[in-house]
A and B are shown apart, each in its own frame.
Chain A
Amino acid sequence: MTNHWIDIKNSDCILIMGSNAAENHPVSFKYVTKAMEKGASLISVDPRFTRTSSKADIYAPLRSGTDIAFLGGMIKYILDNNLYNKEYTAEYTNASFIVNKDYHFKEGLFSGYQKGEGGTDLGKYDKSKWAFEMDENGVPKKDKSLEHPRCVFRLLKDHFERYTLETVSKITGTSKEDLLRVYKTYSATGTAGQAGTIMYAMGWTQHTVGTQNIRTMAIIQLLLGNMGVAGGGVNALRGESNVQGSTDHCLLWHIWPGYLKTPRASNNSLDAYNKKWTPQSSDPLSANWWQNYPKYSVSMLKSFFGDKADASNQFGYNWLPKVDDDKVYSWFDIFDEMYKENIKGFFAWGQNPACSGSNASKVREAMANLDWMVNVNLFDNETGSFWKGPDMDPSQIKTEVFMLPASAFVEKEGSITNSGRWMQWRYQGPKPLGNSRPDGEIIMELGERLKNQYMNGGVFPEPIVNLKWDYHTNGVYDPHKVAKEINGYFTKNVTVNGKSFKKGTLVPSFANLQDDGSTSSGNWLYCNSYTENGNMAARRSKKDAPNKIGLYPEFAWCWPVNRRIIYNRASVDPKGQPWDKKQWVIRFAGKEEGGKWTSKKWEGDVPDGGWYPLENPDGTRRDDSKHPFIMRKHGFAQIFGPGRADGPFPEHYEPLECPIDENYLNDQKVNPTAAVYSSKADSWASCDPRYPFVGTTYRVSEHWQTGLMTRPQPWLMEMQPQMFVEMSEELAELRGINNGERVKVSSARASLEATAIVTKRFKPFNIGDGVVHQVGIPWHYGWRWPESGKEESANLLTPPSGDPNTRIPETKAFMVNVEKL
């Protein structure tokens, strides 16, 4: 979330699309309700009439997988009716940038497309065709009048010209009246002082166009001036208690802690690595915050290897693994390689891939190719016990499995980070149950044993032997020691910006980190979380900030540097005064003399950099200011996004499996760069009469994820005991299915049993010239619980395709059949 949970109450219009917050983030709805009590409108857009829809002022149904068409129509509406915030768009976004002549969009393809060799390789883009025109100083050329025919604003207008109400309605199945109501209500937040927010979740990410779904909304938020303001932002409702923290610490193949890049094989030295990933800007008004990259990478290496890392060995840079430049090592690829017998050892630590992975039968089959697996969890699960699951013959499966009992969260101490980026400390209540152990202790113990082994030799022992591993107190894992390491220490007596710091003291914030080895920091984003003033995550003050918008700056801690609303420099006009005078986030309160600012002072939230505003009160420009989007190279938010794999603008493409043969917006049916897998276990079927209905997955309040932490509980199981499939009355009649009957749901991959819920919550869609039915299934079940073994995972049905930027699977739109058993 760019904003945070409490901030939702400050919104004037809340769009919930790609999520069902009332059901899946129930307590968040407290703040939706508060906003509505103050007059805010709630819009729910969902294929199904959900618990969220039932509270909404406007409900608009859409077919799964058509969000870009829906939102693209909103972009066109905003531009056609001049509803955008002109000053914000021209000053803070790259709408004014001039794009190179090489850029074009024809027949559904952007310039630079290279068709693949077939099979899984659909194709890719040469992104150099999407570059900006630069002036003689290497700064992007701009036309702030937004008139230049090749400025981003004009190209945006041209691009979405095709997204008429008729065409959008034909694709989404949403009526033109509903589209107009949503567009009109949400676009009203383009007025300065009005804020609109979006609450989305996996309903947007799990598509072959997932990244571009979110980009489309980000473009809307920028045009309307909704980024950085209270009650605005782009807010991903994350589904796991610490999925924000585990992402920040980068348990992901492509990034190192703090969103640094995993080194590519071509980055053959630390210098080459830092040079490659440190952006350069020639604009003196661009903060280009990532210019500090080497300070963060070197400090991180110091945390990895401590005293063993110094300038003479490139701080241990070559001890860490490098990935091949053009290869992807994502979730899909892990199980694809495992299926092809190229992976021998596997850790499944606090995760249940046998039920959570798309095309889960392939995942289960792949695990039988392993030599060994370590499964760490609270409960026995479908992953650890895969060898005795359905269709498995244990006597044929060689995999050795170690199942280790982890302690529950209340049995240990440490922090987690919520969706609003708040890092919160948890304390130990009871001791670990039975012989279970906290994950931290298991990790430390395993590390100790590996280190001991490599002391006596082995292949390339340096990284293991030299790994700093002193996070014990009296022989027991100590989370405070790790939390301090993540924050970082001064490793020498140093003076930074005129201030002296002693060796061994904690670094107060990332502005003090250095690239010469004099500081450590396991994750620069968390530098400031545990300082000489104590553990910031454990704070409990209920005192609000002076702007009284619910920031609670001394309750817990949030990254970066406790800034509660990021991009907040965009919440003020170029003179530093808030667009919204009542619910302001920050405001410039320096002294003014003769029409000029003469002293620097910001009030409210921690500003995104404390520089002077862009303009003086008399309207003259200052040369000591910075553009507000400080994490972007040029300082501007990106309406034109030339870094994406599938195009600088979003474009509607049908899901890999879809019910219609034609894309009504362009000549490409599916995303021409989608990630698709093609082993024997990866079948798919589009526009195939055997699988005529659109399928989607979702969650219920009473269960969580694969259900492993809810299915073994009698209360919750009593409330939601069975796998079910929701369908319209019309579809039920078509198939002769009665409410409550067991039915078979199948896709090109597999089939499973479910209880039919025949409901008015689903309605058939009018798509093109025909009628399309959609059904929905929860993904919380698996054969291990309940004991009957008949309630199986929805992911047995989901497809082997994903987003080309992220490789997140397309589990929200695929094709199924439903029949009576």
Chain B
Amino acid sequence: MKLTRRRFMQVSGAAAAGLAAANLGFDVTKARAHTQMLKTKYAKETTSICCYCAVGCGLLVHTSKKGDGRVMNVEGDPDHVINRGTLCSKGSAVTQLVENENRLTTPMYRAPYSKEWQQVSWDWALNLIAVRAKNTRDKTFTRKNDKGQVVNRTTQIASVGSAALDNEECWIYQALMRSLGLTYIEHQARI
């Protein structure tokens, strides 16, 4: 089911979905039953948790089993004990976050003093980042501070982010940054 803008405004506004349906002036029960069937027949259904605020609302994600394999619909999970199927305006728009033509889909590089981006491959980008990180780290690594205490760090590389990562990603990310010797590790929780 493709959600039109008008329909979206109705279901995500202050009015409950039921009320919005009643306002249409005709019985939508049959149509709704049919769309439910379409979703399960041609889609893979997975559960997720909304990516915006930290209430942690449950989502049902329907992904096309045929064609492009993309998200067809995202809605509140009625079996989730916190949101019981409800979502706010942002949560209701998750489909448009995922299926968005503005998303970055390839690594990009901006050379010093350049006015533009250029597309690059993952291998090229990751290799060069590793070289840059190693060079800066090796040049600036401090074994001992001014007092002669062992510190084994670099203060010339910094990292910020991210509360948008999964727990597992956060853990390996901090492990990698700390093993490089960074002391400047911060993220959204500080601001």
Say which residue of A28, A333, A712 sits within 8 Å of B184 (CB atoms).
A333
Say which residue of A417, A438, A702 sits within 8 Å of B167 (CB atoms).
A417
Contact, CB under 8 Å: B190 / A429: no
**Docked complex Cα distance between A353 and B109 (Å):** 19
Contact, CB under 8 Å: B190 / A330: yes
Contact, CB under 8 Å: A714 / B54: no
Contact, CB under 8 Å: B102 / A450: no
Contact, CB under 8 Å: A405 / B113: no
Contact, CB under 8 Å: A350 / B166: no
Contact, CB under 8 Å: A427 / B63: no
Tell me, rounded to whole Å, the shortest Cβ–Cβ distance linking A434 to chain B.
3
Tell me, rounded to whole Å, the shortest Cβ–Cβ distance linking B65 to chain A.
11
User: Which has the most chain A C-beta neighbours within 10 Å: B47, B59, B159, B164?
Assistant: B164
Contact, CB under 8 Å: A555 / B81: yes
Contact, CB under 8 Å: B117 / A427: no
Contact, CB under 8 Å: A345 / B136: yes
Contact, CB under 8 Å: B56 / A420: yes
Chain A CB within 8 A of B19 CB:
no
Chain B CB within 8 A of A807 CB:
yes
Set of chain A residues within 8 Å of B111, measured between Cβ atoms: 400
Contact, CB under 8 Å: A404 / B107: yes
Set of chain A residues within 8 Å of B5, measured between Cβ atoms: 714-715, 718
- CB under 8 Å from chain A, chain B span 68-118: 69-71, 74, 79, 81-84, 86-91, 93-94, 96-100, 102-115, 117
Beyond A397-B113, A408-B98, A410-B74, whether A440 also contacts B186 by CB under 8 A is: no
Tell me, rounded to whole Å, the shortest Cβ–Cβ distance linking A90 to chain B.
35
**Docked complex Cα distance between A403 and B130 (Å):** 14
Chain B CB within 8 A of A747 CB:
no
Determine the residue in chain B with the shortest Cβ distance to A427. B46
Contact, CB under 8 Å: B103 / A471: no
Chain A CB within 8 A of B33 CB:
no
Beyond A246-B162, A251-B174, A252-B189, whether A416 also contacts B56 by CB under 8 A is: yes
Majority DSSP secondary structure for residues of B touching A: mixed
Contact, CB under 8 Å: B184 / A415: no
Determine the residue in chain B with the shortest Cβ distance to A338. B158
**Docked complex Cα distance between A408 and B61 (Å):** 13
Set of chain A residues within 8 Å of B55, measured between Cβ atoms: 5, 25, 27-28, 418-419
**Docked complex Cα distance between A240 and B164 (Å):** 7
Chain A CB within 8 A of B176 CB:
yes
Set of chain B residues within 8 Å of A246, measured between Cβ atoms: 162-163, 165, 167, 170, 187-189
Set of chain A residues within 8 Å of B98, measured between Cβ atoms: 408, 410-411, 430, 433
Tell me, rounded to whole Å, the shortest Cβ–Cβ distance linking B54 to chain A.
4
Contact, CB under 8 Å: B79 / A243: no
Beyond A379-B103, A430-B98, A443-B172, whether A242 also contacts B165 by CB under 8 A is: yes
Say which residue of B53, B56, B122 sits within 8 Å of A424 (CB atoms).
B56
- CB under 8 Å from chain A, chain B span 139-170: 140-141, 143, 145, 147, 149-170
Chain B CB within 8 A of A265 CB:
yes
**Docked complex Cα distance between A346 and B156 (Å):** 8
Chain B CB within 8 A of A506 CB:
no
Contact, CB under 8 Å: A402 / B156: no
- CB under 8 Å from chain B, chain A span 683-718: 701-705, 709-710, 712-716, 718
Set of chain B residues within 8 Å of A703, measured between Cβ atoms: 90
The total of chain B residues at the interface (CB under 8 A) is 121
Set of chain A residues within 8 Å of B112, measured between Cβ atoms: 397-400
**Docked complex Cα distance between A60 and B83 (Å):** 29
- CB under 8 Å from chain B, chain A span 418-445: 418-420, 422-424, 426-431, 433-440, 442-445
**Docked complex Cα distance between A343 and B76 (Å):** 44
Contact, CB under 8 Å: B54 / A240: yes
Determine the residue in chain A with the shortest Cβ distance to B159. A347
Chain B CB within 8 A of A271 CB:
no
Contact, CB under 8 Å: A265 / B147: yes
Chain B CB within 8 A of A371 CB:
yes
Of the listed stretches A118-126, A149-157, A164-172, A453-461, name the one at the interface; the rest are far from the partner chain.
A453-461
User: Which has the most chain B C-beta neighbours within 10 Å: A257, A396, A716?
Assistant: A716
Beyond A30-B86, A320-B152, A460-B141, whether A249 also contacts B167 by CB under 8 A is: yes
**Docked complex Cα distance between A806 and B138 (Å):** 31
**Docked complex Cα distance between A705 and B54 (Å):** 12
**Docked complex Cα distance between A338 and B156 (Å):** 9
Say which residue of B48, B93, B129, B152 sits within 8 Å of A715 (CB atoms).
B93
Chain B CB within 8 A of A731 CB:
no
**Docked complex Cα distance between A444 and B190 (Å):** 25
**Docked complex Cα distance between A742 and B32 (Å):** 44
Contact, CB under 8 Å: A405 / B107: yes
Tell me, rounded to whole Å, the shortest Cβ–Cβ distance linking A565 to chain B.
15
Say which residue of B47, B48, B90, B158 sits within 8 Å of A716 (CB atoms).
B90
Contact, CB under 8 Å: B166 / A416: yes
**Docked complex Cα distance between A542 and B84 (Å):** 11
Chain B CB within 8 A of A755 CB:
no
Beyond A26-B88, A304-B179, A479-B166, whether A402 also contacts B190 by CB under 8 A is: no
**Docked complex Cα distance between A564 and B129 (Å):** 42
**Docked complex Cα distance between A540 and B156 (Å):** 45
Contact, CB under 8 Å: B104 / A378: yes
Beyond A405-B103, A435-B107, whether A351 also contacts B160 by CB under 8 A is: yes
**Docked complex Cα distance between A405 and B155 (Å):** 27
Chain B CB within 8 A of A131 CB:
no
Say which residue of A238, A397, A427, A467 sits within 8 Å of B176 (CB atoms).
A467
Chain A CB within 8 A of B127 CB:
yes
Contact, CB under 8 Å: B53 / A439: no
Set of chain B residues within 8 Å of A250, measured between Cβ atoms: 174
User: Which has the most chain B C-beta neighbours within 10 Å: A256, A338, A446?
Assistant: A446
**Docked complex Cα distance between A753 and B62 (Å):** 41
Contact, CB under 8 Å: A268 / B71: no
Tell me, rounded to whole Å, the shortest Cβ–Cβ distance linking B96 to chain A.
5
Contact, CB under 8 Å: A433 / B103: yes
**Docked complex Cα distance between A24 and B90 (Å):** 10
**Docked complex Cα distance between A400 and B177 (Å):** 20
Say which residue of B150, B151, B191 sits within 8 Å of A808 (CB atoms).
B191
Chain A CB within 8 A of B128 CB:
yes
Contact, CB under 8 Å: A252 / B71: no
Say which residue of A249, A262, A376, A418 sits within 8 Å of B161 (CB atoms).
A376
Determine the residue in chain B with the shortest Cβ distance to A537. B167
Tell me, rounded to whole Å, the shortest Cβ–Cβ distance linking B7 to chain A.
11
Chain A CB within 8 A of B41 CB:
no
Chain B CB within 8 A of A809 CB:
yes
Chain B CB within 8 A of A239 CB:
yes
Chain A CB within 8 A of B131 CB:
yes
Q: What are 25 A-B pairs at a CB distance below 8 A?
A: A251-B174, A253-B183, A265-B149, A265-B150, A321-B178, A323-B153, A330-B190, A338-B158, A346-B159, A349-B160, A349-B165, A351-B161, A372-B132, A404-B104, A415-B168, A419-B56, A439-B169, A463-B180, A463-B181, A482-B168, A482-B169, A486-B168, A522-B175, A555-B81, A785-B102
Task: Known pairs A321-B183, A400-B132, A702-B90; list 11 more (Cβ under 8 Å).
Answer: A249-B167, A249-B170, A321-B178, A323-B151, A329-B185, A349-B159, A358-B191, A412-B166, A440-B168, A710-B97, A806-B190
Q: Which residues of B contact A (CB under 8 A)?
A: 5, 8-9, 44, 46-59, 61-64, 69-71, 74, 79, 81-84, 86-91, 93-94, 96-100, 102-115, 117, 122, 125-134, 136-138, 140-141, 143, 145, 147, 149-191
